[in-house]
């Protein structure tokens, strides 16, 4: 069957846009093909710095004929309804419709709409220019006198359609002042001549000959493998950086890997500074020395360059140029670092009085004052020394005024730790300066030292309570102040450190924490109904909720738990029905002397004993023990429902048995609302 080949050749596309754009192009084209009746077998999208490409295989040469029955109004309907039906069906008059009878609804009109198929080339000629005109880039531009928008100026459009055996047909259309054809171009420097293309296979082969690797993932594999081999030969290893690898693969069409070096004297800088400098300014990979056999070797005075050309001198000029720039950048970094070290870290704090944190929440310095107070209050609850927590909170944002963080904002906190250590701050305070920002994401480290925990919680809780106070809350997908991340950070710090730390926040913010906790627990594999069962509107203990959900999951994975849940559901359903009928609630006050059957007496005794046991376990935050206690009710509950008729003819006996079921329900509710559990 025929295949479609589409290539949009342009000036350099920013690396960060390429992969998304290729997938968006595939989605737009394939959706339009299906809508036009052209069902395909497969589609693949590609991107290089100068092109987006798409191949769609297994397309039919034309769309199928279609026949559709369109139901219209009843015979004798008002004329406006008739006219609307005729317009929608494309009929000139009712003579072109037929009448169909329905025994219940009477006679109504039916239009038989037959649409002949169309040639795929004709359909594509209409589809493709519309897609290009509507294509959404994060940023786009216009050039010349035209009105067409694209990420960078388009230079050529290739669009062919045909089988492997036939000469393909060029799909005729125009866009951006260009006429579609079957001409592309190779590498800008190594093979810039025009290339005539027929179909996808020879397109890929021709590009390879013209020094263009079409597939971005293959370019990544080439860079990764060549860099690893080059490093290994020198007793080094490449520091993995998937984000940089993706970016570099989007900057080159023919990757050529080389190694450069810098003055080892620069290794006096913190390695994070060196890595950030080389990565940000030259898009190069840093290396570690593995010759010592250590798992994580020290930083090596070398770096990996990925060039987009085969240099005649073997890359000597390219390497020398990168070394020259990196030397200058590292010299700047050394100047910044030494200048920052010359002053106490708190020296810059007054500058933060002039830095606005938020128009409604004051300056960064005002925020630091709040953090100091809050960290001191939190410290005793997490086992930290209040004065050390206050000192760490005071220094936490001080590095924002340093030259190094001004150059590399992503190093905030980390540089604060280096500077705090250099000026003789205790280790726990220095660590807290770095760790108070964390965790920054679901896989980031969580603070574990008490002082770090106190300052990190203070930082996130101040952020949340502050923005809640001025009614700046996340809405839908909009969260400009990363409040969802802050809430999840609080949740992870509390749960992963096993902290009993009740959240003293307003109900609306507490509900926000509940939503984030539900997301966190569900992502960890917890059932949504179990999470709902252990959270109530006033649940403010994150650790307690987490432990209850885990214990409930364990209980319900056992036969005893499954059968006990079934018994609870039966009891709850009976109670709900009878309470509605009687117009009152049963409070669980059981008259022991009114119990007649051994099975109800056994259940009453078991419930009383388990109620006391469960309450004791809950008071000690031992939810596994509480759930284990509930599990022992399985046998007496089963026996009760086998032998006892709840709705006895004697009203007093009936009421007592309903109270017993209410006592059972209330006992189980000590741990969770089993009514919210599915099953």
How far is the C-alpha of 84 from the C-alpha of 77, rounded, in Å? 11
Using a 10 angstrom Cβ sphere, with 0-12 exposed, 13-18 middle and 19 or more buried, the burial of residue 597 is: middle
Taking the alpha carbons at both ends of the chain, their separation in whole angstroms is: 51
Q: How confident is the model at residue 96 (pLDDT cuts 50, 70, 90)?
A: confident
Does the domain at 345-527 match CATH 1.10.260? Answer given as: no
- DSSP class of 410: G
Please tell me the predicted confidence (pLDDT) of residue 136.
94
**Chain mean pLDDT for the chain:** 94
Please tell me the predicted confidence (pLDDT) of residue 114.
79
* Cβ atoms within 10 Å of 127's Cβ, excluding its own: 21
Q: Scanning the structure block, which residue is given the tokens 């917890």? A: 526
How far is the C-alpha of 126 from the C-alpha of 159, rounded, in Å? 13
How far is the C-alpha of 120 from the C-alpha of 33, rounded, in Å? 9
Q: For 472-516, what is each residue's pLDDT tens digit?
A: 999 888 899 999 999 999 999 999 999 999 999 999 999 999 999
CA distances from 571 to 285, 608, 640, 641 (A): 65, 17, 10, 9
- In DSSP notation, 244-304 reads HHHHHHTT-SS-EEEEEE--GGGGGS-HHHHHHHHHHHH--EEEEE-TT--SSPPEEEEEE
How far is the C-alpha of 126 from the C-alpha of 106, rounded, in Å? 43
- DSSP class of 343: S
Q: For 573-590, what is each residue's pLDDT tens digit?
A: 999 999 999 999 998 789
Percent of the chain with pLDDT over 70: 99
Please tell me the predicted confidence (pLDDT) of residue 398.
96
Whether pLDDT at 103 is above 70: yes
Pinpoint the alpha helices (H) of 342-448: 364-378, 386-395, 403-407, 414-422, 427-435
Residue burial 617-647, b: 16+ Cβ < 10 Å; e: rest: bbeeebbeebbbbbbebbebbbbbbeebebe
CA-wise closest residue to 548 among 576, 517, 578? 517
CA-wise closest residue to 597 among 648, 659, 666? 648
How far is the C-alpha of 406 from the C-alpha of 411, rounded, in Å? 9
The CATH classification number of 558-676 equals 1.10.730
Q: What are phi and psi of 74, to 5 degrees?
A: -65, 155
- Average pLDDT (153-159) is 97
* Cβ atoms within 10 Å of 76's Cβ, excluding its own: 9
Q: How confident is the model at residue 439 (pLDDT cuts 50, 70, 90)?
A: very high
Cα four-point dihedral sign 133, 137, 140, 143? negative
CA-wise closest residue to 367 among 460, 452, 457, 462? 462
Q: For 275-328, what is each residue's pLDDT tens digit?
A: 999 999 999 999 999 877 665 689 999 999 999 999 999 999 999 999 999 999
Residue burial 432-443, b: 16+ Cβ < 10 Å; e: rest: bbbbbbbbeeee
Please tell me the predicted confidence (pLDDT) of residue 95.
84
Q: For 22-77, what is each residue's pLDDT tens digit?
A: 999 999 999 999 999 999 999 999 999 999 999 999 999 999 887 778 888 888 88
Please tell me the predicted confidence (pLDDT) of residue 293.
62
Please tell me the predicted confidence (pLDDT) of residue 421.
97
Q: For 355-394, what is each residue's pLDDT tens digit?
A: 999 999 999 999 999 999 999 999 999 999 999 999 999 9
Kindly report the three-state secondary structure assignment for every residue of 159-209: EEEECCCCCCEECCCEECCEECECEEECCCCCCCCEEECCCHHHHHHHHHH
- Average pLDDT (170-189) is 96
CA distances from 460 to 479, 489, 490 (A): 15, 7, 7
Please tell me the predicted confidence (pLDDT) of residue 65.
85
How far is the C-alpha of 124 from the C-alpha of 129, rounded, in Å? 9
Please tell me the predicted confidence (pLDDT) of residue 568.
93
Q: Scanning the structure block, which residue is given the tokens 């080892």? A: 264
The answer to whether 446 and 491 have CB atoms below 8 angstroms apart is no
User: Where are the domains positioned within the chain?
Assistant: 3-62+119-209, 67-114, 216-341, 345-527, 558-676
Q: For 616-639, what is each residue's pLDDT tens digit?
A: 999 998 999 999 999 999 999 999
Q: Scanning the structure block, which residue is given the tokens 């997938």? A: 23
Q: How confident is the model at residue 102 (pLDDT cuts 50, 70, 90)?
A: confident
Instruction: State the number of CA atoms in the 13 A half-sphere of 56 facing the CB.
Output: 26
Percent of the chain with pLDDT over 90: 85
CA-wise closest residue to 59 among 128, 124, 125? 124
How far is the C-alpha of 5 from the C-alpha of 299, rounded, in Å? 46
**How many residues in total does the chain contain?**
679
- In DSSP notation, 487-532 reads HHHHHHHHHHTT--------HHHHHHHHHHHHHHHHHTT--HHHHH
Please tell me the predicted confidence (pLDDT) of residue 490.
97
Please tell me the predicted confidence (pLDDT) of residue 540.
94
Q: How confident is the model at residue 3 (pLDDT cuts 50, 70, 90)?
A: very high
How far is the C-alpha of 622 from the C-alpha of 615, rounded, in Å? 10
Please tell me the predicted confidence (pLDDT) of residue 295.
58
Cα four-point dihedral sign 556, 558, 563, 568? negative
Strand arrangement, sheet containing 256-261 = 236-238, 285-289, 299-307, 256-261
Q: How confident is the model at residue 254 (pLDDT cuts 50, 70, 90)?
A: very high
The answer to whether 151 and 161 have CB atoms below 8 angstroms apart is no
Please tell me the predicted confidence (pLDDT) of residue 679.
73
């Amino acid at each position: 069957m025929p295949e479609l080949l589409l290539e949009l050749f342009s000036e350099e596309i920013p690396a960060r846009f390429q992969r998304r754009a290729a997938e968006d192009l595939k989605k737009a084209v394939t959706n339009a093909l299906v809508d036009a009746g052209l069902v395909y077998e497969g589609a693949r999208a590609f991107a290089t710095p100068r092109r987006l490409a798409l191949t769609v295989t297994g397309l039919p040469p034309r769309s199928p004929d279609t026949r559709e029955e369109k139901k219209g109004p009843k015979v004798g309907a008002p004329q406006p309804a008739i006219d609307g039906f005729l317009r929608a069906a494309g009929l000139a008059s009712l003579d072109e419709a037929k009448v169909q009878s329905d025994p219940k609804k009477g006679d109504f009109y039916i239009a038989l709409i037959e649409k002949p198929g169309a040639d795929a080339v004709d359909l594509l000629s209409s589809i493709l220019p519309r897609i290009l005109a509507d294509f959404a880039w994060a940023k786009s531009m216009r050039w010349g006198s035209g009105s067409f928008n694209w990420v960078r100026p388009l230079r050529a459009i290739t669009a062919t359609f045909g089988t492997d055996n036939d000469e393909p047909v060029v799909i005729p259309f125009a866009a951006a002042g260009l006429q579609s054809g079957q001409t592309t171009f190779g590498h800008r420097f190594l093979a810039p001549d025009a290339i005539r293309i027929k179909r996808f296979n020879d397109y890929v082969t021709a590009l390879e000959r013209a020094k263009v690797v079409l597939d971005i993932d293959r370019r990544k594999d080439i860079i990764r493998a060549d860099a690893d081999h080059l490093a290994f030969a020198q007793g080094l290893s490449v520091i993995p950086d998937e984000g940089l690898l993706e970016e570099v693969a989007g900057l080159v069409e023919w990757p050529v890997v080389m190694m450069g070096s810098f003055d080892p004297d620069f290794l006096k800088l913190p390695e994070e500074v060196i890595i950030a400098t080389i990565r940000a300014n030259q898009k190069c990979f840093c290396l570690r020395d593995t010759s010592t056999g250590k798992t994580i070797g020290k930083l090596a005075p070398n770096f990996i360059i990925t060039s987009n050309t085969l240099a005649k001198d073997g890359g000597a000029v390219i390497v020398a140029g990168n070394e020259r720039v990196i030397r200058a950048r590292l010299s700047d970094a050394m100047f910044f670092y030494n200048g920052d070290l010359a002053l106490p870290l708190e020296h810059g704090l007054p500058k933060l009085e002039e830095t606005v944190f938020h128009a409604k929440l004051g300056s960064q310095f005002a925020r630091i004052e709040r953090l100091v107070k809050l960290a001191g209050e939190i410290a005793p609850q997490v086992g930290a020394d209040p004065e050390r927590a206050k000192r760490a909170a005071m220094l936490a944002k001080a590095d924002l005024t340093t030259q190094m963080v001004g150059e590399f904002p992503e190093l905030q906190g980390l540089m604060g730790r280096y500077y705090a250590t250099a000026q003789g701050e205790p280790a726990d305070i220095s660590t807290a300066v770095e760790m108070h920002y964390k965790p920054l994401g679901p896989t980031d480290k969580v603070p574990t030292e008490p002082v770090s925990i106190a300052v990190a919680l203070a930082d996130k809780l101040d952020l949340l309570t502050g923005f809640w106070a001025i009614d700046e809350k996340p809405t839908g997908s909009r969260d400009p102040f990363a409040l969802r991340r802050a809430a999840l950070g609080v949740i992870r710090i509390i749960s992963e450190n096993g902290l009993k730390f009740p959240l003293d926040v307003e109900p609306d913010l507490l509900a926000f924490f509940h939503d984030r906790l539900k997301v966190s627990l569900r992502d960890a594999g917890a059932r949504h109904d179990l999470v709902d069962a252990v959270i109530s509107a006033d649940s403010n203990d994150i650790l307690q909720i987490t432990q209850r959900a885990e214990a409930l999951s364990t209980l319900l994975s056992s036969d005893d738990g499954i059968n006990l849940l079934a018994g609870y559901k039966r009891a709850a359903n009976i109670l709900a029905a009878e309470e509605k009928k009687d117009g009152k609630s049963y409070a669980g006050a059981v008259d022991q002397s009114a119990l007649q059957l051994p099975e109800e007496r056994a259940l009453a005794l078991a419930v009383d004993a388990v109620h006391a046991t469960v309450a004791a376990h809950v008071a000690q935050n031992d939810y596994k023990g509480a759930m284990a206690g509930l599990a022992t009710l399985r046998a007496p509950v089963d026996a009760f429902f086998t032998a006892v008729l709840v709705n006895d003819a004697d009203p007093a006996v009936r009421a007592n048995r309903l109270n017993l079921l209410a006592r059972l329900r209330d006992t189980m509710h000590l741990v969770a609302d089993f009514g919210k559990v599915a099953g």
